[in-house]
Amino acid sequence: MQNLDRSHTSKPVLVVGGGLGGIRTALDLAEADKNVVLVDTAHNIGGLMTQLDRTFPTNNCDLCTLAPNLSESNRQEHIKLMAMTRVEAVSGEKGNFKVSLKTEPRYINLDKCTGCGECLKAFPECVTFTPGLDHRAPTCMRYPQATPQAYSIDLTRCGDVEALVKCCPTGAINPDDLGSRGDVACSSIVLAPGASLFDPSGLDYLGYSDHVDVVTSLEYERLLSASGPTSGRLLRPSTGEPPKRVAWIQCIGSRGLQRGAAPYCSGACCMFALKEAMVSKERFREDIETTIFYMDMRTFGKDYERYYQRAKNEFGVRFIHSRPHSVLMNEASGGIVLGYTTDDTPKLLSEAFDMVVLSIGFRIGDEMRSLATMLGIDVNDSSFPVHPGLNQVETTRPGIYVAGAFEAPKDIPETMVQASAAACMAGKDVIPLEKEIEEAPALPLERNVVGEQPRVGVFICDCGENIGSVIDVEKLAERVSVFEHVAVAMAAGHGCSRESMEQIRQTIEEQEINRVVIGGCSPRTHEAKFQDLIRKAGLNKYLLEFANIRDQVTWVHSHQPEKAMAKAEDLLKMAVGAVCKAHPLAEHSLPINKNVLVIGGGVAGMTASLELADQGFRVYLVEQSNRLGGIAANLKRTLEGHDVQAFVHNLIERTQSHDSIEVIMGGMIVDHTGMPGMFTTGMQVGRQMFYRQIEHGVTILATGALPNRPNLFGLGTGKQIVTQLDLQTTIHDDPEKVRSWENVVMIQCVGSRTEDNPNCSRICCQNAVKNALHLLDVNPDVRIFVLYRDMRTYAFQEEYYQKARERGVIFVRYQQDQPPQVKLVGDHVEVTYRDIILGRDVKVTADCLCLSTGLIANEDSNEEMARIFKLPRSEDGYFLEDHIKLRPVDLPVPGFFVAGTAHAPKLISESLVQARAVASRAQTILARDAINLGAATAKVDGKLCAACLICVRACPFNVPFINADGYSEIDPAKCHGCGICAAECPAKAIQLMQFEDDMIISKLEQLFEKVEA
């Protein structure tokens, strides 16, 4: 066991689980300058997401979005990553835990393994692979960017251990590896182990065990995936032909529907099925028919309803509201026959399909159950950890936090938000010690190479057999050494090994090399490493070029060694040509102002303020109105029974009395300038509207949303027609009135999921259930009708929905095109609705009609904010996050974050999670002293610029503008570095640093030099 004692610094946070959530928590903590031990039982981190083909709602491929996260994770100096490791015991308490860890033997020394794959070639049977649909995945690395980038060995399958050890070119295989055990002291623990998936093989009527063409949703995902067993060609397992008709069956193992099913809703499966159906449609268009059999389509997330509508209207996915009762094999055709009924016909229907996909839900597996038991945290009936208050990421044991699907079923964005929130909580338990002045390795001054003749050093890796077995690296170096400007060309063995790096550094210094070319692997993975190296040798980082002679030469042309050699030579020549034109570039960096501006004094704004103030940052909380608390101040209790009033009062008191928080009431933002880390925002305050400016490093938007009050179903025409918000107040304040009621009707989706407001308001279904149950508590005899389109009681809310049904609440579906009719009759209100199953109208005379009106974006205030801060908004007026999946609380303008209902409608507990998530994300910026903005930005030569506006119009991010001097200016702090402006500029006045035109042209010239000769 390596030394984990970091007594000279503060104790680390232990993060259990290296899926997307665990990685996010670890990265947030590390970026906030806290140490992390990240353990995962798997061979490589990445969790479930690495197995997905594409993700909703963008239908993007994951690999490209996740991979940078992982390698970033690998490079963080604050993170110690321990794969194949489990927690065995925990003792101690918050701030001072002792955790026993056990690491399984990998039989491979991670420091030596380069991921070359020689062992796999020689002994495919004992190099472990990932189980999936395939019986033989190409490598044991789940995907090519795996972290750690290393294989693992299954020794029990190996017949000749000695030969196996010998086959490794770096001597990384160690058959005597016994694994290790050790204790680690830590401040707090974050549990993000994810959840398992329901196994449908026990449900014989679904035919999962009998028909190969009946697959789970994850298996279907693997069939679609480019890195899956069929390389992304969707084929029927039985015939190997593309399927023509595919059906999805929802809610398998969820909502208490089948034998052994869990009582809760798994939350993510509806979107998952929609995505799979849409991707199938995208790929095969008219050649495939997709049908989803569903109970309620639960597309309650941000903009998810639009996604559902697109699936239905644009992609032609067919939706059938039914739960098929049987999945049978048609012996004659080899196809599958689904038996089902629908609402509008009494007949039994049957339909043939080529493939059936079971949308399986999340489940807490045995391993996680025992983890919870061992940690001594309380769990609910379904074995998910319970949180004592409204804070979802807390457990019943102080100092232990949860995030992701282990907390409750959820999708990726919500997992990411919780992961950041857990980082915020866990980070608070780290007791900062006196920061000892660390001996940072002093970097030599950068040599000024401008004006010097290029003296290029070319270092060519053999990467063991990877390059060396195909081409003779020594000979290649010899050929390269005669190129113009090349001062040194040498073979560098494993260039990235410590010894080689040291040798390269010395050579650069001794030979006065002023530009460097590395011939080896991909710059994607190793550029940063060699940039650091040449910087240590006194050169500017950007005087470096890579020739990718491994991934793009020897690995792919091993059958033609001579041509491979010639190509490697060409690539090196191109790299030399380009590096001669390279300029030393300055990375842009800015000092950080550590104050925080929080806009909006609702629960999200106050919570974010408190979390950051507790960490010692100065917070300015600006509230437009004259009171704190937002919408939550009007709420009485949550579905689960928490007292919201007491909670909000406590929050207001703590906010107002905190030394580091200044609350500015009646503040209206009017202007804003600056860059991330040094913003200045102006506001008018109070009745006198006096002007005040605040300087701050980050901005948090928690401006909330508004309760919707549309003129629908007679709202506002009589006091017996109310909203859910009104109703909960009446139940609370005037129980006598409620006791006199006989009938109450609730209508769902009022002003939501309509043409005017296409999205789902998310909170209304649980609101209806909450108020219905509360009504029954007060008046057990009242009859309650809930007219709904889809009941969207996700996760554990489902259990309350079931309870409401058991207690006699009548739930009736209505169709959007046949809405209930409402008529005021005296003190009552007459509601007529179409009962789909009976096929006739039903009339109810109600004492109260309660409309579920949900939330809408605060159009005026959001529009103003968006204009002042230059932030994009979604179509329905909410702020649009930077990346819907992976950066759900970061806004596209660096240094801006969003929390609460300003992002989208959500519950109080969900707003609190986001508030803590933004507090964590903000700390990743505030912990630094300066922000590095990189160097690959576009630069305008004002003398050449014709102010034609083409760059202004072409930039995808609206960065260039024509400045007061009359030429285009590009703010390096905002430039994303794509280079589109440089390519379109008709005056050739713009260059993208690091990819300048003369470098590209030089590559071409070098490549074709011999052709011309």
Cα–Cα dist 462/471, whole Å: 9
The CA distance from 782 to 809, in Å, is 9
Query: Which CB sits closer to another protein, 117 or 666?
Result: 117
Least gap, CB of 610 to another protein (angstroms): 36
Q: How far is the CB of 784 from another protein (least distance, A)?
A: 45
Distance CA(866)–CA(872), nearest Å, equals 6
H helix count then E strand count, the chain? 25, 48
For residue 120, the minimal CB distance to another protein (Å) is 10
Residue matched to tokens 């103003």: 864
> Which C-beta is closer to another protein: that of 35 or that of 1006?
1006
Comparing CA positions, the residue from 221, 278, 280, 274 lying closest to residue 250 is: 274
Contact of 759 with 306, CB cutoff 8 Å:
yes
**DSSP label of 37:** E
Q: Which residues pair with 458 in a beta bridge?
A: 489, 517
- Cβ proximity to another protein: between 235 and 978 the closer is 978
What CA–CA distance (Å, rounded) separates 560 from 553?
A: 10
By beta-carbon proximity to another protein, the closer residue of 394 and 570 is 570
- Pairing assessment for the beta strands 456-460 and 486-491 based on DSSP bridges: parallel
When the beta carbons of 557 and 753 are compared against another protein, the nearer one is: 557
Tokens standing for 309?
């509508």
H/E stretch holding 519: strand 515-520
Select 110 or 946, whichever has its Cβ closest to another protein: 946
CA distances from 942 to 416, 460, 635, 978, 998 (A): 43, 40, 58, 20, 19
Asked whether the beta carbons of 465 and 119 are under 8 A apart, the reply is no
List the structure tokens of 855: 């939330």
Provide the β-strand partners of residue 830.
823, 845
Q: Which is nearer to another protein, 108 or 855 (CB)?
A: 108
Q: CA nearest 671: which of 661, 679, 681? A: 681
- 930/1001 with CB nearer another protein: 1001
In whole angstroms, the minimum distance from the beta carbon of 1003 to another protein comes to 6
Cα 529 from Cα 538, distance rounded (Å): 15
CA separation for the pair 223, 214 (Å, rounded):
13
Cα-based distances in Å from 36 to 426, 436, 860? 10, 19, 43
Q: Sign (positive/negative) of CA torsion 684, 685, 689, 690?
A: negative
Q: How far is the CB of 948 from another protein (least distance, A)?
A: 4
In whole angstroms, the minimum distance from the beta carbon of 931 to another protein comes to: 20
Cα atoms found within 13 Å of the Cα of residue 39, Cβ hemisphere only: 26
Amino acid at 998: D
Query: Measured from the CB atom, is 369 or 529 closer to another protein?
Result: 529
CB nearer to another protein: pick between 529 and 823: 529
For the beta sheet containing 188-191, the strands, ordered from the edge strand earlier in sequence to the opposite edge, are 79-82, 36-39, 13-16, 188-191, 400-402
What type of residue sits at position 16? V
Q: Which residues are CB-neighbours of 647 under 8 A, at least 6 positions away?
A: 389, 390, 632, 908
CA distances to 106, 151, 630 from 468, rounded to whole Å, are 26, 20, 66
> Shortest distance, CB of residue 65 to another protein, whole angstroms?
9
Q: Which is nearer to another protein, 283 or 535 (CB)?
A: 283
Helix (H) or strand (E) holding 465: helix 465-468
Q: Evaluate whether 744 touches 295 at the Cβ level (below 8 Å).
A: no
Smallest distance, another protein to C-beta of residue 978, A: 4
| Residue 565 vs 622, nearer CB to another protein | 565
Distance CA 427, CA 401 (A): 11
State the amino acid at position 253 in one-letter form.
G
- Cα–Cα distance measured from residue 132 to residue 966, given in angstroms and rounded to the nearest whole number: 60
Query: Measured from the CB atom, is 241 or 562 closer to another protein?
Result: 562
d(CA 696, CA 62): 35
The token duo for 813 is 């579906």
CB of 1010 to another protein, least distance (A): 9
CA–CA gap between residue 430 and residue 95 (Å, rounded): 6
In whole angstroms, what is the distance from residue 540 CA to residue 446 CA? Answer: 6
Return the number of the residue (75 or 807) whose C-beta is nearest another protein. Answer: 75
365 vs 561 by CB, closer to another protein: 561
Which residue lies nearer to another protein by CB, 275 or 550?
550
In the complex with another protein, which residue's Cβ is closer, 689 or 944? 944
CB of 928 to another protein, least distance (A): 24
* β 289-294/245-252 pair status: parallel
**Cα 357 to Cα 800: distance, rounded to the nearest angstrom:** 28
Nearer to another protein, 205 or 957 (CB): 957
Report, in Å, the least distance between residue 943 CB and another protein.
9
Q: Say how far apart CA 632 and CA 613 lie, in whole Å.
A: 22
Cβ count within 10 A of residue 112: 16
* Angstrom distance (rounded) from CA 322 to CA 251: 11
Which residues, 6 or more positions from 981, have their beta carbon under 8 angstroms from its beta carbon? 938, 950, 951, 954, 955, 960, 970, 990
